[in-house]
Amino acid sequence: MPFFMLWLAASWCLQAGIWVGLALTVPAGALLLRLFLIQHDCGHGSFFRRRRANTWAGRILGVLTLTPYEFWRRTHAQHHARTGNLDHRGVGDIDTLTLAEYLGLSRSARWRYRLYRSPLVLFGLGPAYQFLLRHRVPAGMLRGGWRNWTSVMMTNLGVAALWLGMMYAVGPKTFLLVQIPTTLIAATLGVWLFYIQHQFEETSWHQDEAWSFQEAALHGSSYYDLPPLLRWFSAEIGVHHVHHLCSTIPFYRMQAVLRSFPQLKRVGRLGLRESFGTIRLTLWDEQRRRMISFADAGAARPA
């Protein structure tokens, strides 16, 4: 209800010529992020007790978040099963090269990777592409068969019906002026949270033979220690090491877990201010066992 109320308030302001309505898309975007994270818990079967309730809530929320529920749920499950495994990268994660792989690339391939890892692409163009385009027709990712196709196409139909209905109700211009910023704010915040959960200096990556689920969960995922208000908007997803260790714990139980096991607060902790320093980390150094920057890579290059 708060999301719909803010969305309607923003559209009313814009229709009345009050451009402060655009400012309301910021909290609306934060609430849309929270709805996506509720959908995320539905995908893990943890938000409700009954599977059917999780499934239908996830499908409905997928129309609001522009995310095909069943398709996303399957790829996200692969992320949980393979996170931190150097031999199984590329599904549901942010592309990360090792230092050796990067140094072995051609000049043009290095340039493409550096472009991909730039903040403009990761947190600007990337979220827009992911939610507005790639989720509409995720080409090359539909090997799961007709269920994935059905998930994508039914979500697209739901999005089209909702958007056309809202355009008819408030007008195309007003709709786009509210919906596009709201969506992009939510998408950018979501990608940032996903990034910070695994792309920090002391994260953990291993080859297949040395990889373990528990190690990847506890040391390959961060504890993003946010202020209470940001924890609410982000639905406690910052307690990500616990989430990866046991994804069936709903977000509204995460603080109870930390109270019961206070030692978990010291594992992979990142504060809000220090988290921004992770943007420079782009490569996994297998020798030093940590994430490094492109500048560090240049210093490590053989003479």
Pairwise CA distance, residues 285 & 72, whole Å? 30
81: Cα separation from own chain's centroid: 16
Provide the pLDDT confidence category of residue 138 given band limits of 50, 70 and 90: low
DSSP letter at 89 equals -
Looking up tokens 């939510």 gives 186
Q: With 60 as the cut, is the pLDDT of residue 141 above it? A: no
pLDDT mean over 91-102: 89
Closest CA to 39 of 8, 60, 18, 12: 60
Which range is least confidently modeled, 32-41, 90-99, 115-124, 154-163?
90-99
Q: With 70 as the cut, is the pLDDT of residue 147 above it? A: yes
Pairwise CA distance, residues 97 & 89, whole Å? 9
The overall average pLDDT reported for the chain is 92
Note the pLDDT of residue 137: 81
250: left (phi over 0), alpha (psi -120 to 50) or beta: beta
Secondary structure of the chain: what % helix, strand, coil (to 5)? 65, 5, 30
- In tens, the pLDDT along 154-203 reads 999 999 999 999 999 999 999 999 999 999 999 999 999 999 999 999 99
Pairwise CA distance, residues 233 & 34, whole Å? 5
Pairwise CA distance, residues 240 & 193, whole Å? 10
Q: With 90 as the cut, is the pLDDT of residue 93 above it? A: no
Q: With 70 as the cut, is the pLDDT of residue 143 above it? A: no
Note the pLDDT of residue 303: 44
Domain edges within the chain: 2-300
Q: With 80 as the cut, is the pLDDT of residue 140 above it? A: no
- In tens, the pLDDT along 257-269 reads 999 999 999 999 9
249: left (phi over 0), alpha (psi -120 to 50) or beta: beta
Note the pLDDT of residue 145: 67
Note the pLDDT of residue 169: 94
Note the pLDDT of residue 214: 92
* Cβ atoms within 10 Å, residue 213: 16
155: Cα separation from own chain's centroid: 19
Note the pLDDT of residue 230: 96
